[in-house]
Structure 1
Amino acid sequence: MSGRAGWAGRHVLVTGGSSGIGRELVHQLRGAGAVVSVLALDDTDLARLRASAPDVHVRGVDVTDAAAVGSATDELAAAAGPVRSLFTCAGISRPGCVQDLGLGDFRAQMEVNYFGTLHAVRAVLPGMLHSGDATITCISSAAGLLGVFGYAAYGPSKFAVRGLCEVLRQELKPHGVSVTAAYPPDVDTPQLAMETPLQPPELQAISGTIKPLTAQSVATAILRGTESGRSSVFPDVRTRALSRLVGTAPWFVDRALDRTIAKVRRRRPADPRRCPGPANLS
């Protein structure tokens, strides 16, 4: 792609495009002249998007339903042309430790975060393999770079997205399809606001007191990384430094995390959110 000019007239599909990072990507892509389509749950967020952006092609779809994603994608391609760029932003998070979460929590986060990504990729891929100059960008997470206390279900689902992107990059490059994985830290979105009260204190301590990034800044970084064909996008210098540290000195990261967790448990031994809690292994 040739920078922002390359978006003009390009059919771009955004999953989870009615809220958070996805909604901001929709806004910026429209400003760059792209033809934008959105797959998202048929809820109030999607209704607001329909009302505020009538030029956006919208389908209310649960991304965990492979058949529905495929059918909706075919409809959108028939209406606006083959999808040439995909952004997979649909995701959920429910923090908690292994023994505190139900098996349904693990399944739900893997179904939405990983399989929801996979279903969208598989839906657009046939058209991309024939067109060339296509892009796939998937939202993983900083929690997809290293294990984080309290993200027992969320972290593995984002590791899975990371692994998928690494394989896709190798498989699709010979076909002219560029694959990018984005690793945002905490972002000021409705999802973060919803999960914060559920976070155990150890997770809050690891996240620190750093102000979450804005969805606007993260979306801008993701678009720039996609435009330049980068395989990885780290929206801020801290996450980029973390990725390097995890790769070069994992022992140092482990020790730092262990110290933080131990400090929290000494100071707040009676906190009811502290893991482990009552076993919930159903």
Structure 2
Amino acid sequence: MSSAEGWGPAILDWLLPDSWWLLLGLAMLLVVGAFVVAFVLLLYMISPLMSPKPLKLNGAHVVVTGGSSGIGKCIAMECYKQGAFITLVARDESKLVQAKKEVEKCAINDKQVVLCISVDVSKDYGQVESVIKQAQEKLGPVDMLVNCAGTSLSGKFEEMEVDCFKRLMEVNYLGSVYPTRAVVTTMKERRMGRIMFVSSQAGQIGLFGYTAYSPSKFALRGLAESLQMEMKPYNIYVTVAYPPDTDTPGFAEENKSKPLETRLISETSGVCQPEQVAKIVVKDAVQGNFNSSVGPDGYMLSALTCGMSPVTSITEGLQQILTMSLFRTIALFYLGSFDSIIRRCMIQREQSKGADKSE
């Protein structure tokens, strides 16, 4: 008998009696895999049943703070195109009148109305409550509130006036708290409503130069999460929009005093048009989505920073779980490039100072 003939039966005798556990393990893996696939498919099937019913804007009353320019005005125009009645709220009366004319051009029927109210939503809650009451008396209960009033200042932490921190928190945070507080009681009574907070990508990640601005936008996230937990039983859904740099008058004004480091970091992503942002955030608010992001960078940031924020559908939750590891890896490269930009600027500034002293 050859050596091959001798080894063959021996190998079979060794494998067959002792390999049953391998087969059992393989079978268990197949069962678990099949269960996971079936579970995921089931979630996709029932997800639409768990999502809120979309809000119909045709005939709805939409209040937009900060609606005289920029993203706020474009949101008002987008809602008007879908048949809504609009109340524009801002401080500057002349800008409000101009914005009203632009919004009215988007009408789809002759019954629609644009109401303008001049008030500073960050100063006196009693005054804000009064003007919201006036708007509801004229156009009916508020179906959707868009908190878009805000401002931005950038600069190095130690170089900014202390009052800037207070002012930005008043405008960007309290300027959203007051109008929201004025509409929630009626929304709860009616068991319906949408509330949108327009934050910023700087409200998801703290960046060089935004030590005053970012905290005021981060605060909106905490407000929105807490408020959503309170409002959800009443069929009221909260949306936080995180637009990127957008081509608005406010952005142009901010660029005049923006530190070099901040500007270089901002340039790593593009500048969006306000009309594009408005379409996306209005769609998300109507659907009742908690997070509203714009573009690939925005989607990645929303997935990375989702934390304990609510989800509108199980599909959204699964996407966040599956993409978290990849997006975190990409984010580390971004953070590394931001640190590199800041170091280069610091070295160049020190070299420039050294050259001036030598002269």
TM-score by length of 2: 0.71
How much has 1:265 moved relative to structure 2? 2.1
How much has 1:268 moved relative to structure 2? 4.2
In the alignment, the residues of structure 2 paired with residue 38 and residue 195 of structure 1 have an alpha-carbon distance, to the nearest angstrom, of: 23
**Gaps in structure 1 of 5+ consecutive residues:** 273-282
The correspondence for 1:46, drawn from 69, 79, 96, is 96
1:150-161 correspondence to structure 2 within 5 Å: 150-161=209-220
In the alignment, the residues of structure 2 paired with residue 242 and residue 230 of structure 1 have an alpha-carbon distance, to the nearest angstrom, of: 16
Amino acid at match of 1:265: M
Residue of structure 2 equivalent to 1:25: 75
- Verify: 1:164 aligned to 2:229, yes or no: no
* Distance 1:211-1:74 versus aligned 2 partners, 3 A rule: same
CA RMSD of superposed structures (Å): 2.1
Q: Looking at both structures, which has the greater relative contact order when contacts are Cα pairs under 8 Å and sequence separation is at least 6? A: 1
In the alignment, the residues of structure 2 paired with residue 178 and residue 207 of structure 1 have an alpha-carbon distance, to the nearest angstrom, of: 31
- Counterpart secondary structure, 1:33: coil
**Gaps in structure 2 of 5+ consecutive residues:** 1-51, 105-112, 307-323, 354-359
Please state which structure has a larger fraction of its residues in helix: 2
- Verify: 1:236 aligned to 2:295, yes or no: yes
How much has 1:266 moved relative to structure 2? 2.5
Deviates more, 1:56-65 or 1:204-213: 204-213
- Verify: 1:63 aligned to 2:121, yes or no: yes
In the alignment, the residues of structure 2 paired with residue 89 and residue 258 of structure 1 have an alpha-carbon distance, to the nearest angstrom, of: 31
* Distance 1:68-1:261 versus aligned 2 partners, 3 A rule: same
In the alignment, the residues of structure 2 paired with residue 77 and residue 246 of structure 1 have an alpha-carbon distance, to the nearest angstrom, of: 36
* Distance 1:110-1:10 versus aligned 2 partners, 3 A rule: same
In the alignment, the residues of structure 2 paired with residue 271 and residue 104 of structure 1 have an alpha-carbon distance, to the nearest angstrom, of: 31
Amino acid at match of 1:27: M
Q: Deviations over 1:35-86 (max 9, x none)?
A: 1111111343112124445631111000112111100000001111110110
How much has 1:205 moved relative to structure 2? 1.4
- Verify: 1:95 aligned to 2:154, yes or no: yes
Does structure 2 retain, via aligned residues, the 8 Å contact 1:205–1:264? no
How much has 1:245 moved relative to structure 2? 4.2
- Verify: 1:257 aligned to 2:338, yes or no: yes
The correspondence for 2:282, drawn from 208, 211, 223, is 223
In the alignment, the residues of structure 2 paired with residue 270 and residue 33 of structure 1 have an alpha-carbon distance, to the nearest angstrom, of: 59
Task: Give every structure 1 segment of 4 or more consecutive aligned residues whose post-TM-superposition deviation is greater than 3 Å.
Answer: 1-4, 50-54, 243-251, 253-256, 267-272
TM-score by length of 1: 0.90
Q: Deviations over 1:152-172 (max 9, x none)?
A: 111000000111111111111
> Larger Cα Rg: Structure 1 or Structure 2?
2
How much has 1:94 moved relative to structure 2? 0.9
How much has 1:2 moved relative to structure 2? 5.9
